[in-house]
Amino acid sequence: MNAQEALLDYYAATAEQYDDVHVGDHEPEHDDALAWIGRLLPGLGIRSILDTGCGTGRGIEFMRQHQPEIRVRGNDPSPDLLRVAVERRGVPPELLDCASSTPLAYPDDAFDAVMALGVLHHVPEPDRLVQEMMRVSRRAIFISDRNRFGDGHPVWRRMKWIFWKARVWRLIFRLKNKGKDWYYTDGDGVAFSYSVFDSIEALSRKGYRIAVIPTRGSAWAYASPLFLASHALVCAIKE
C-alpha cells in the first residue's frame, strides 16, 4: 500500500470522529489561521477563494459564516470527509469537488485566493501543490501548516535547518524511517516531513509578498517564527 492509499483508508476509518480529533481545542492553530485570513481578505479585494484539501469543511464553514459575500469552493480526495462536510457542517454539495489537489481541476486564475489548512504535510510533493495553488489563484495564497524547524530541542531545530539547506534532510529523514519518506500515526494518518518555510522560496520567486504569522509555539515566536513556531500561517500576496 502506498502513502496515498494509506491516507485515504485512514480518512475512511476516522471520518465520523475526524472533527473530534482535528478541530477546535485539538488543533487551534488552524482556527487562528482562519481568523487571520478572515481579517486580511476584505482589504485585498478577495471575492472568491478555494479551500484545497478542505476535508470536513472547516474552512468553508468559516467563510460562509464570516465572509458570506465571498464565493467559496472546496476540493478533497476523500469522499468520506466530504460527506461529513455536507451532513454535519451543512456545506452544500455543489460547493465541493471530490478531487485531488495535484493537479487542481480548475483553470488558470479561477479564484482570487487559495488556502490550504493542514494539507501540505500530507502531500508527497508539496512544491507541486504550491505551484498548482499559484496557477489557479489571481491574488493570494494562504498556507497553514507545520514547521519542522520549530519542533524539538533548540539544537536539533537548527540542525534540521542546516541539513535542509544542505539538501540532505530528506535522506536523513528516510534513514530515520527505515527507507520511507512518510510515517503513520493514529492521530494524523500519513504524514511527510514538512515546514511552511519549505514553500516560501517558490512563492517569492513568483513575486509574492510574504508574511509569516506564528499560530503555535513559544511566546517569543513572532521574534523568530522559523525556530520558535511549531505551526504558522504563510500569507503570500501577489504584488
The pLDDT tens digits for 45-98 are 999 999 999 999 999 999 999 999 999 999 999 999 999 999 999 999 999 999
Residue range 24-48, pLDDT digits in tens: 656 899 999 999 999 999 999 999 9
What span, in angstroms and rounded, lies between the C-alpha atoms of 9 and 20?
18
Q: Which of 96, 85, 221, 91 is nearest to 149 (CA)?
A: 221
Q: Which of 14, 33, 213 is nearest to 116 (CA)?
A: 33
Write down the architecture of domain 3-238 according to CATH: 3-Layer(aba) Sandwich (3.40)
Q: What is the pTM of this model?
A: 0.96
Q: How confident is the model at residue 214 (pLDDT cuts 50, 70, 90)?
A: very high
Classified as helix, coil or strand, 143 is strand
Ordered by start, the domain boundaries in the chain are 3-238
